[in-house]
């Protein structure tokens, strides 16, 4: 997910008052998914922090 696209998606969710779960599926390595998950969570946190 590109940063600009992610930012627009998050802004839209905030604008409409969405308050439920948002799920992202990412399987960088199906054999060991934890590092890819950690990378994805870090990415989303970074996008949200940049928006603050």
pLDDT for the residue numbered 23: 83
pLDDT for the residue numbered 3: 65
**Model confidence pLDDT, tens digit, residues 11-50:** 999 999 999 998 877 677 889 988 988 888 898 888 888 8
pLDDT for the residue numbered 5: 83
Nearest by Cα to 42 from 18, 26, 21: 26
- Could you tell me the CA-to-CA distances from 52 to 11, 14, 24, 31, 49 in Å, in that order? 11, 12, 21, 35, 5
pLDDT for the residue numbered 50: 86
Cα within 13 Å of Cα(37), Cβ side: 6
């Amino acid at each position: 997910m590109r940063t600009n696209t992610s930012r627009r998606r998050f802004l839209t969710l905030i604008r409409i008052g969405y308050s439920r779960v948002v799920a992202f599926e990412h399987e960088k390595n199906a054999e060991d998914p934890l590092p890819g998950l950690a990378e994805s969570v870090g990415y989303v946190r970074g996008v949200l922090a940049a928006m603050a």
